[in-house]
């Protein structure tokens, strides 16, 4: 049932639209995603826990929903904001509409909002807390609720998305012929995406996924050839208990981190993190590899970053930089087999420019040496 809906931000800005999915009320940090496709993957990315996502592309839902595109077991974001929700799902793979998908997962969606004005407001003022409602349409009331909502700073959201027990993953990327398992990899689940696991399998890894609460000695007891630190939601500075466990594993096995895993690794290596103004969310973020000066177009989803100045006095090499704002996008330890990137090389959704990083991890497990660029990386 379509109902009037109101989105209010903590600074007093508000936007009216019409609901789809479930009715009710939700809160979260409001961010925007610049991808032109891939909304099923975005909806099921656990890194969006505690956030409402506004799509900048105007028409969403036109190719429906298929379970094969999911990146986790369910929707983790709080609310979904679009300019226009397509009533027609034209795709032979589709099994349900976007509206039905949100309703099935008890998620509030809103359309008809001036998403261009909303995105410009966030770009100018920064990502901020908001409340979306179909039951309370009073702007003043919702603004006060937004101010009182918890936000992301200081919250451990990893515990809300991680699995509760270990499991094995064997499915490869659909467009790759998987290699025979050459390596045992222990993947720490801070909110891991399925396509990351597929990427590891396609590059010769037998993957065991472990809950984020797994202690270092338990991880090492699996006798892995390498350790993977996954993406995930929220404030990395709120995870000192996880950082402490990663510190214990440095130098014990090769380590590869992505997104939140990169931020956790940055802290474990002595650095600090900070909150970006409006984050990087989308499949078109330009990143330069500092070894080759080549530019990769990358998929990203994060609101925090590692402070470059905080790691300058540590044995860490900067490997990648964001060309939009010069923030750190990749680093490698100069002496240990350890490296990480801030973006998502598994590309779900997004381009495939960065898939070479999985092969770099495999090579690091073969040699036990710090990662170095190879000619076939380019």
For residue 21, pLDDT over 70 is answered with: yes
Q: What is the mean pLDDT of residues 27-38?
A: 96
Domain ranges of the chain: 4-148, 158-377
pTM higher than the cut 0.75: yes
Q: What are the helix (H) ranges across the chain?
A: 39-43, 98-104, 115-125, 139-148, 194-202, 216-221, 240-249, 260-268, 308-311, 356-367
Among 33, 18, 31, 172, which residue's Cα sits nearest to residue 109? 18
**Structure tokens of 180?**
């025979």
**Structure tokens of 156?**
């451990």
DSSP SS3 for 316: strand
For the domain made up of 4-148, the CATH class stated in words is alpha beta
- CA-CA distance, 249 to 220, in Å (whole number)? 8
In this predicted structure, what is the pLDDT of residue 237? Answer: 98
Q: Do residues 340 and 331 lie in contact, with contact meaning Cβ atoms separated by under 8 Å?
A: yes
Structure confidence by residue, pLDDT tens digits, 319-373? 999 999 999 999 999 999 999 999 999 887 777 888 899 999 999 999 988 876 5
In this predicted structure, what is the pLDDT of residue 294? Answer: 95
- CA-CA distance, 23 to 43, in Å (whole number)? 18
Beta bridge mates, 287 = 296, 322
Structure confidence by residue, pLDDT tens digits, 287-301? 999 999 999 999 999
- CA-CA distance, 109 to 60, in Å (whole number)? 11
Q: Do residues 342 and 352 lie in contact, with contact meaning Cβ atoms separated by under 8 Å?
A: no
In this predicted structure, what is the pLDDT of residue 378? Answer: 43
CA-based angle 261:78:344, to the nearest 5?
30
In this predicted structure, what is the pLDDT of residue 351? Answer: 79
Structure confidence by residue, pLDDT tens digits, 179-201? 678 999 999 999 999 999 999 99
The fold for domain 158-377 equals Rossmann fold (3.40.50)
Active-site residues, by number, are 259, 344, 346
Q: Do residues 205 and 183 lie in contact, with contact meaning Cβ atoms separated by under 8 Å?
A: yes
Q: Do residues 136 and 112 lie in contact, with contact meaning Cβ atoms separated by under 8 Å?
A: no
């Amino acid at each position: 049932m379509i109902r009037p809906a109101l989105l209010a931000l903590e600074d007093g800005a508000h936007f009216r639209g019409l609901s789809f999915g479930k009715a009710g009320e939700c809160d979260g940090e409001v961010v925007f995603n610049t991808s032109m496709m891939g909304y099923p993957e975005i909806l099921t990315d656990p890194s969006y826990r505690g956030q409402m996502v506004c799509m900048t592309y105007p028409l969403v839902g036109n190719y429906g929903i298929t379970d094969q595109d999911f990146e986790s077991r369910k929707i983790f974001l709080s609310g979904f904001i679009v300019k226009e929700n397509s009533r027609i799902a034209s795709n032979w793979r589709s099994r349900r509409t976007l509206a039905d998908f949100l309703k099935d997962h008890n998620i509030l969606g809103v359309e008809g909002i001036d998403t261009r004005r909303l995105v410009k407001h966030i770009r100018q003022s920064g990502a901020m807390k908001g409340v979306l409602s179909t039951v309370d349409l009073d702007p003043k009331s919702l603004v006060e609720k937004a101010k009182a909502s918890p936000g992301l700073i200081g919250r451990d959201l990893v515990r809300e998305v991680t699995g509760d027990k270990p499991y094995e993953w064997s499915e490869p990327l659909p467009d790759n012929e998987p290699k025979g398992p050459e390596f045992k990899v222990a993947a720490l689940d801070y909110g891991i995406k399925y396509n990351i696991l597929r990427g590891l399998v396609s590059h010769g890894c037998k993957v065991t996924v472990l809950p984020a609460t797994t202690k270092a000695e338990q991880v090492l007891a699996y006798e892995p050839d390498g350790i993977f630190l996954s993406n995930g939601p929220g404030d990395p500075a709120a995870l000192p208990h996880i950082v402490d466990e990663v510190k214990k594993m440095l130098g014990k096995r090769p380590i590869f981190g992505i997104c939140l895993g990169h931020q956790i690794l940055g802290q474990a290596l002595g650095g600090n993190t900070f909150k970006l103004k409006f984050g990087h969310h989308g499949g078109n973020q330009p990143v330069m590899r500092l070894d080759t000066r080549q530019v990769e177009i990358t998929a990203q989803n994060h609101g925090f970053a590692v402070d470059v100045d905080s790691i300058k006095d540590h044995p860490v090499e900067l490997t990648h930089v964001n060309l939009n704002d010069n923030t750190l996008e990749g680093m490698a330890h100069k002496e240990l087999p350890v490296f990480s990137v801030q973006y998502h090389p598994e590309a779900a959704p997004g381009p495939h420019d960065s898939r070479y990083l999985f092969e770099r991890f495999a090579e690091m497990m073969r040699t036990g040496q710090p990662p170095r660029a190879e000619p076939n990386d380019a």
